[in-house]
Structure 1
Amino acid sequence: MQAPPAAVAVDAAASPAAAAAGRAWRPVASAAARRAAPGAAAFRAEVERPVFEQQLCPWLAPEFESVFQPRRVPAGHAGPEDGCSFHVRRAAFEVLAPFHLRFSDVAPRTLPRAGPGGGGAGGGSAAVAPPGGAAAAPLVRVVDRRDEGAVGALLRHRATGRRLLAASTHLFWDPNYPDVKLVHAAALCRGVAEFLDAQCGPGAAGRVPVVIGGDFNTLPGKWASDQYDRVPAGGCLVSGAYQLLTRGSVGPDHPDHPIRRSCAGEQRAAAAAGREDGGSSGSGSGSSSGSGGDEGSPSRRPGRHAGRRRRRRCALGRHAFDSSGLRLESMHVRALGAEPPLTTRTATFDGTLDYLFLSAGDWEVAAVLSMPYAAGGGPGGGARPPSSVPVGAFGAAPNAVWPSDHLAVGAELVLLPEGQSEQSAAAQ
């Protein structure tokens, strides 16, 4: 289902569609902050190429510059080609350089380098062994088959003269593969950082303002166990992709780490091979510790596969994914203290999947596009599960009122002066 803009405005008024649906702007800053120079940018995911070329571009052409990045059409796919699009108002922003990213191109650089033979953390290269070693092979196969990515541009904000990067993105949808989503999030950050370094000089990822909007297909938190995850009673599981984007790092102890998901089977196979050859049985659980059992115990003689098994676990089992120097924060959390309970609700699923992420210290959130239900709480309010929104308050979509299964996420943002940004970043 085609998704609406993940962010509909930057220093701009509400879109006509949002206003017509009764979605007003909710001020969260002073009136002075909201009197910034007008500008607008829109981020869209799952845009069908005919819609982009025949509807969006003609409609937006007088004022907006638009870029599109399609996904490869899978074999046997009967529908039209789709992808991500980014739209920016020419009067407010000058496009300095387009930005195109495919996660599968960057993902290998987010994995640990493997030594010859496919396992160690030593000085091999991807030409000698697969990224992440043999243990990462199941993950790499899935990532290579996917074609998600991001599209946007390096911009110059005409009112302030500041450069910034804005990008639209779409992460993998399948809840069976949260580790692929984590790798996609790491690849997104890595791709942005490398692009900024190439365009603006080394270290630009920590200096140039960034805004990324889209369908991230990842929940900020999960309050109850399901077929995909186990959540402790009374607890909340923060997804790996969301943690990486908001906290900057995800280690092997997280349940969404590949060593505990796609690559756990490889760990169990290695342990089984060790048992067959008289070595340690290992834990066989895909443990995040990377040590796996008592293969180092002097009372057991390791089998001939033990060293290889240890190298496999060493390459990925001790690897932490990071945000490549980007310091991002969620627009909703910055403005209101929590994500909305849901940005999508269908007959079988509800939750928050759509976000606007901002580089920390560079932006002030002047107003937030309200949700079409009572979200409760004000600034500083805690997170709430999707079940807190009754079906009577907002039902399954699309329907006669809401033409998409995703709700637009929007904000009025003020780009802070460079000196003020540096002070804000230092304070954090």
Structure 2
Amino acid sequence: MRITVIGCGYLGAVHAACMAELGHEVLGIDVDAAKIELLSAGRAPFYEPGLPELLTSASATGRLSFTTDISRAAGYDAHFIAVGTPQKKGEHAADLTYVDAAVTSLAPHLAPGSVVIGKSTVPVGTARRLAGIIAGVQPEAALAWNPEFLREGFAVQDTLRPDRLVYGLPDGDAADHAKTTLDEIYTVALGNDTPLVVTGYETAELVKVSANAFLATKISFINAIAEIADVTGADVTKIADAIGYDARIGRKFLNAGLGFGGGCLPKDIRAFQARAGELGADQALTFLREVDQINMRRRVRAVDLTRELLDGSLLGKKVAVLGLAFKPESDDVRDSPSLDVASQLRAQGARVVAFDPQAVENARRLHPELDFAESAADAARDADAVVILTEWREFRDLDPAEFGQIVADKRILDGRNCLDPDTWRAAGWRYRALGRP
């Protein structure tokens, strides 16, 4: 099929490249000329494993191209909306400025029978409103909602081999045409027996935010247990292992530590609460306030533990921060707990030297006051304490004996519970972690 992808940020760039890889002719459209120039040259504007290779191979086939000119969307069969929905400044609600602008700009170029497909995470009720905008300009075009479930670091894999597909279809006769279009786009996934849920707009919108709310709740649950473990001497990792054997619970997302961040979970659970309030159902989601608060408390706890490691004072102490991205295999520092902790440590008097395999430049733009190193060893040289805040493999694989030779004092905070305490203690390190004795 001939497909456009409106918005070539994290979601859109990955989706465009993957659709071309699956054999479709794809045009990526974005207002950011610098981003389009990078993508046209086969270079990703952010770090995502596998994406540069996909951009190169897809561009070489002639099936993938990029532009800033939305009028070139005319004549294409399907149009994915993949723009951002950030949190409004000073509010919890989602900012739909980019979604509205994308649909409004695209509508005059829609042909009869074309299908607009929403990928962006939006408050429930948005799709029905956007369908009205489209109908007012091109009554013979249809809107479907097809939420994404990408994991940063695995986005290419998740797009090419999704674990489920959700179609939010319009009412009436347009539903059949929209479904047929989506089925053709996802022929490969459907041929691999990918589970498919077909529903209406509102359910499709709620599927995405419900999934993120549940994952955030699961993470905050185990971090709440970690708070109890801290005051009782229990080991939260053993608790997670034990309850994770229960098939009703499962072990995934029960990793206690610094908590969640990034461009999805924090803003999505806040926007979900805000929308529930607008609908008069705010009491249904009051628990998400505590989920958010538990998550934010982890950052304060990490700073407090680092201070304890340094005998009660951060003033003038050199602290090596390993990890700045909100998760490994990403350079994303949006609402990153790691970067937040690094900034708080410096604000409270520590001399922070930070390193991340991919996120240094993004972190430097947000916090130029921090000092940055070119490797973990450079950051840790003569450090009074080391704090691991993002669980990159190269940090998990550090040799504690070898690493201990370059620091001023063998003190380490394992902010992600990703190290073996016995191994580090045997090498002479004073080891602390969140929720472990």
Q: What TM-score does the superposition give when structure 2 sets the normalisation length?
A: 0.26
More helix by share: 2
Q: What TM-score does the superposition give when structure 1 sets the normalisation length?
A: 0.26
Higher relative contact order (CA closer than 8 Å, sequence separation 6+): 1
